[in-house]
Amino acid sequence: MTEDITQTTIRFAATDGWELEADIYTSPSPKIAVLISAGTGFPRQFYTGLAMYLARQGAVVLTYDYRGIGGSKGKDLARSGIDYPDWGRLDAPAALNALEEAAPGLPLTHLCHSVGGHFVGLMPNHSKITRHAFVSVGTGYFGGHHLRNIPSELYFWWVLGPYLLLRYGYIKPAGGWRGEALPPKLFKTWRRWSQRRSYFQPDLATKLAPHHYDEVTAPIRSWIFPDDPIATPSTASDLLKCYPAAPHEVIIRTPSQVGVTRIGHEGALRKGRDALWAEFSNWLMGAS
């Protein structure tokens, strides 16, 4: 059925006019629409396999690059002024509107990887979404992560990151950072939040105002994996507390339960994870 799936690349304007790039995957008889919001530093192409799978199950799927990433990079990352909340306040809402336009009349759902689940409360149009699938979504607080991961995180925040900013003006993929290049302001906000268990919550009354975290009521199912050093049960729980009005549940899956040797922080989205993808699809379709 793969040959029946069509993939189209589109460009559209974010809320403030920044041009974003996205891919839309459509099947002949779709039942739902799925917005896939990426993790930090992941280009939209990382989610192509999952998007194709969901389309084969009967979904219209939109993957997109946040500003500063991939096809939405812009011209001068070092001077762009891009901040972390921009992805949720300006980019995700525009992507959801683009999906709604591509799939008129279909229920809108949301699959979030990592930071993709952090910013639902910044989306002024979040109420259009009927349900959320969180995959490896937990706060960035380093103290809640696996102990073996903490030294490398502190190195990234306080040694590698500052060095890359000094030399290049932005976070270049080098020295252990394997994601896409990141803007300087975004990196500094991410680092500041990640030094405290409360993460972004102290900013809700100031830098993140106005917001909609208390208003999100669409149900959230959150998948967590024991070998994920970042999205742990404790950081996942802390993040879900930011959505007090949303019904939620946490699903813990071990690699052996889904027939693989490793999942980690990004493995649930890699090819060959059909057992997990079926769970995501069933939830988004409303079948479980």
pLDDT band at 97 (very low <50, low <70, confident <90, very high): very high
**180 phi/psi in degrees, rounded to 5:** -65, 160
Helix (H, G, I), strand (E, B) or coil at 244: coil
Is residue 1 over pLDDT 80? Answer: no
pLDDT at 287: 65
pLDDT digits (tens, 9 = 90+) for 53-89: 999 999 999 999 999 999 999 889 999 999 999 999 9
Alpha-carbon torsion angle 280, 282, 286, 288, nearest 10? -100
Q: Which residue, chain included where needed, has tokens 């690699």?
A: 255
Across residues 268-282, what is the average pLDDT?
Answer: 95
Per-residue confidence (pLDDT) for residue 74, from 0 to 100: 87
Specify the CATH superfamily of domain 2-285. Alpha/Beta hydrolase fold, catalytic domain (3.40.50.1820)
> Residue 266: pLDDT above 60?
yes
Using H for helix, E for strand and C for coil, what is the string for 146-183? Answer: CHHHHHHHHHHHHHHHHHHHHHHCCECCCCCCCCCCEC
Given a cut of 60, is residue 2 above it in pLDDT? no
The mean pLDDT value of the chain amounts to: 96
Domain ranges (residues) in the chain: 2-285
Average pLDDT on 246-263 reads 96
Tokens 């990234």 belong to residue: 156
CB-CB neighbours of 201 under 10 Å: 17
- Average pLDDT on 228-245 reads 97
Task: Give the pLDDT of residue 209.
Answer: 96
The pLDDT of residue 129 = 99
Q: Read off the pLDDT band of 23 (50, 70, 90).
A: very high
Q: Determine contact, residues 42/266, Cβ cutoff 8 Å.
A: yes
Strand partners, 32: 59
- In angstroms, the CA 277 to CA 288 distance is 13
| 3-class SS shares of the chain: helix, strand, coil, % to 5 | 40, 20, 40
Work out the number of other CB atoms within 10 angstroms of the CB of residue 190. 20
Say whether pLDDT at 288 is over 60. Answer: no
Report the pLDDT value the prediction gives residue 75, as an integer from 0 to 100. 86
Residues with Cβ within 8 Å of 105's Cβ and at least 6 positions away in sequence, in order, are none
pLDDT at 3: 62
> What is the predicted pLDDT for the residue at 15?
93
Minimum mean pLDDT range among 94-103, 132-141, 171-180, 221-230: 171-180
SS3 35: strand
Q: How does pLDDT run across 120-146, given as a tens digit for each residue?
A: 999 999 999 999 999 999 999 999 999
Query: What digits encode the pLDDT tens for the residues 188-210?
Result: 999 999 999 999 999 999 999 99
Query: Given a cut of 90, is residue 176 above it in pLDDT?
Result: no
pLDDT reported for residue 192: 98
- Residue % of the chain over a pLDDT of 70: 98
How far apart, in whole angstroms, are the C-alpha atoms of residue 201 and residue 199?
6
Q: Over 80: is that where the pLDDT of 105 sits?
A: yes
